[in-house]
């Protein structure tokens, strides 16, 4: 039986041969690593892979490739992102060929044993945090599906770190966030890795008016992170790319989770669950629960 | 003038006065504040009013910027839900402000520093009461510095 890698390579070759796509966005393996790549027609497809280290959110590349016909490996992280991007008019679905895969749950490289022994059988304790909350392991709207369908997971409730922070008093939370913010060097890797931060001009670069002080001080860093969380309110699909790429290890996604949790409770809204749902901030109900307004 | 209103106004200025930035929508809250003035209702003078066309014009950026510029508190005030001059602006504003409120509460900002109110053009008395409430709370909360114990570089204590 062909492995998923072989099936994937054959499927992509077929897409290029039939001239259905100009680019393919997937993962390649090299130097013992798995990393995302954009392959053009005629590229070497022999390094294409899909394994337990394919944790990046590939939808990050789509707004840039807009206008081209693109094929894409699509696990659940990308599925939810595509739903949001489609609702916001950022992708042209008819130019996209979605290659579905059964997601085996991704491992966290920081937790991996040095020799990566038994990569395929590592249990939940080695997983990426996001994979514990995954809703569905198979791509629901795949144009091509490779591999065998995976079983439906039971998503874990809640976000452990958010719960930990919320158990603190207001003063402790202030101190905790101050501490985190004093580490941030404002490299904006979190923004770059975010598939939904696709603005050509971000508020952080605005000069007239200058909304955000350029100096890297905790209060300015917090200012940046709060506004970014607002811009992702009702949009963040919890792929945790922001926290994963942060060079100083700030769990940036906690702020996004605050809103995801509140919007789920308050508005019954989960970003990217369906392509039809109206984004939470471009929509309202007359009786939205307001509990703090004078 | 009602007895309670008289009492609510401080006779002498406190040693420190809170600076409140108020974003008021043109059609309801600004007119409501105007009515409070023309009706000669006495109330605290701590709110610096910025008139905006609609409460939905208030971007969370402006609110954080106000804090950065030294505000001790920020008040956003608009028409009651259902009464927006632009029909639905304040419904959108409400969701946006709820999101900001959640985040500010989460990062440990004193909830008394960021307030939202619905004040209509006929509610001069309510406006006076809102300002009194906000000012009194901020007098208790004290001046706002994000980096209270930080060094002069703005770093949190204990960091190089
Ligand atoms: S990736 Fe980390 S250090 Fe860089 S801007 Fe984001 S939070 Fe700050
Ligand atoms: S932080 Fe906001 S303005 Fe900047 S790229 Fe993200 S969504 Fe756009």
For residues A217 and B55, the answer to whether their CB atoms sit within 8 Å is no
- Digit-coded pLDDT (tens) for A53-89: 999 999 999 988 988 999 999 998 899 999 999 989 8
What is the position in ligand 2's atom list of the atom closest to the CA of A230?
Answer: 2
Q: State whether A219 and B147 contact (CB < 8 Å).
A: yes
- Tell whether the model's pLDDT for residue B154 goes beyond 60: no
Greatest C-alpha distance within chain B: 58
Proximal ligand: closest to the CA of A241: 1
Domain ranges of chain A: 4-145, 160-282
Cα–Cα distance for residue pair B160/A46, rounded to 1 Å: 48
User: What gap in Å lies between CA A62 and CA A84, rounded to an integer?
Assistant: 12
How far is it, in rounded angstroms, from Cα A245 to Cα B27?
46
What are the tens digits of pLDDT across the range A142-165? Answer: 899 998 888 877 888 888 899 999
Give the tokens for residue A152: 């439906």
DSSP state of A127: B
Sorted by where each starts, the structural domains of chain B and their CATH numbers stand as: 18-141 (3.40.50)
Say whether B155 and A218 touch across the interface (CB within 8 A): yes
Between CA A116 and CA A184 the distance in angstroms is 30
For residue B149, pLDDT over 60 is answered with: no
Place B80 in a pLDDT band, splitting at 50, 70 and 90.
very high
Residue range A230-244: average pLDDT?
94
Which of A192-196, A236-240, A274-278, B41-45 is least confident? A274-278
ipTM: 0.90
Average pLDDT over residues A110-121: 75
Predicted confidence band of residue B152 (pLDDT cuts 50, 70, 90): very low
How many angstroms separate the CA of residue B3 from the nearest CA in chain A? 22
Q: A173 vs B155: CB contact, 8 Å cut-off?
A: no
Residue with tokens 């950026």: B61
What's the whole-number mean pLDDT along residues B58-64?
Answer: 95
Which range (A222-236, A269-283, B68-82) has the least confidence? A269-283
pLDDT grade, residue A248 (50/70/90)? very high
Q: Which of A213, A263, A284 sits opposite B88 (nearest CB)?
A: A284
The 10s digit of each residue's pLDDT in B98-128 is 999 999 999 999 999 999 999 999 999 999 9
Lowest mean pLDDT: which of A123-132, A157-166, B60-69? A123-132
Q: Among A191, A248, A249, name the best residue to mutate to test ligand 1's pocket (greatest count of ligand atoms within 8 A of Cβ).
A: A248
Residues with CB under 6 Å of ligand 1 are: A 184-190, 245-248, 250, 252
**Residue written as tokens 């158990």?**
A167
- Helix/strand/coil for B140: helix
Going by their DSSP bridges, the two strands A23-30 and A70-74 should be labelled as parallel
* Greatest Cα pair distance in chain A: 66
Q: Is the peptide bond before A209 cis (omega within 30 degrees of 0)?
A: yes
Quickly tell me which residue has 């700030």 as its tokens.
A250
Task: Give me the mean pLDDT over the A231-254 stretch.
Answer: 94
In chain A, what residues touch B116 (CB-CB under 8 Å)? Answer: 292-294
Q: How confident is the model over A162-184, as pLDDT tens digits? A: 999 999 999 999 999 999 999 99
């Amino acid at each position: 039986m062909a492995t998923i890698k072989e099936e994937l390579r054959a499927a992509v070759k077929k897409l290029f041969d039939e001239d259905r796509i100009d680019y393919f966005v997937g993962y390649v393996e090299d130097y013992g690593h798995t990393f995302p790549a954009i392959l053009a027609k005629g590229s070497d497809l022999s390094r294409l892979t899909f394994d337990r280290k394919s944790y990046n959110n590939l939808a990050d590349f789509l707004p840039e490739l807009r206008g081209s016909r693109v094929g894409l490996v699509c696990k659940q992280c990308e599925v939810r992102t595509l739903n949001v991007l489609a609702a916001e008019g950022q992708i042209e679905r008819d130019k996209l060929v979605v290659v579905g895969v059964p997601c085996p749950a991704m491992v966290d490289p920081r937790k991996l044993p040095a020799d990566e022994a038994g990569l395929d059988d590592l249990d939940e304790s080695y997983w990426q945090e996001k994979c514990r909350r995954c809703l569905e392991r198979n791509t629901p709207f795949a144009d091509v599906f490779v591999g065998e369908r995976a079983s439906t997971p039971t998503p874990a409730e809640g976000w452990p770190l958010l719960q930990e922070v919320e158990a603190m008093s207001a003063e402790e939370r202030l101190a905790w966030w101050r501490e985190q913010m004093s580490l941030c060097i404002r490299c904006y890797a979190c923004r770059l890795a975010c598939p939904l931060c696709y603005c050509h001009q971000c508020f952080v670069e605005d000069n007239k008016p200058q909304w955000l002080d350029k100096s890297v001080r905790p209060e300015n860093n917090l200012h940046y992170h709060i506004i970014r969380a607002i811009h992702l309110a009702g949009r963040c699909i919890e792929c945790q790319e922001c926290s994963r790429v942060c060079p100083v290890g700030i769990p940036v996604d906690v702020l996004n989770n605050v809103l995801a949790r509140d919007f789920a409770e308050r508005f019954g809204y989960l970003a990217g669950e369906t392509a039809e749902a109206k984004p939470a901030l471009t929509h309202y109900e007359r009786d939205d629960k307001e509990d703090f307004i004078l | 003038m009602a007895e309670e209103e008289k009492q609510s106004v401080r006779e002498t200025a406190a040693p420190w006065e809170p600076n409140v930035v108020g974003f008021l929508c043109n059609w309801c809250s600004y007119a409501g504040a105007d009515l409070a003035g023309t009706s000669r209702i006495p109330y605290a003078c701590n709110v610096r009013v910025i008139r905006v066309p609609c409460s939905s014009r208030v971007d969370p950026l402006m609110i954080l910027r106000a804090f950065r510029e030294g505000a001790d508190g920020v008040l956003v005030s608009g028409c009651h839900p259902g009464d927006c001059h632009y029909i639905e602006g304040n419904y959108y504003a409400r969701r946006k402000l709820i999101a900001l409120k959640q985040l500010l509460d989460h990062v440990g900002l004193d909830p008394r520093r960021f307030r939202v109110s619905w004040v209509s053009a006929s509610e001069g008395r309510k406006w006076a009461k809102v300002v009194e409430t906000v000012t009194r709370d901020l007098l208790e909360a004290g001046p706002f510095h994000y980096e209270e114990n930080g060094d002069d570089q703005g770093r949190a204590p204990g960091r190089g």
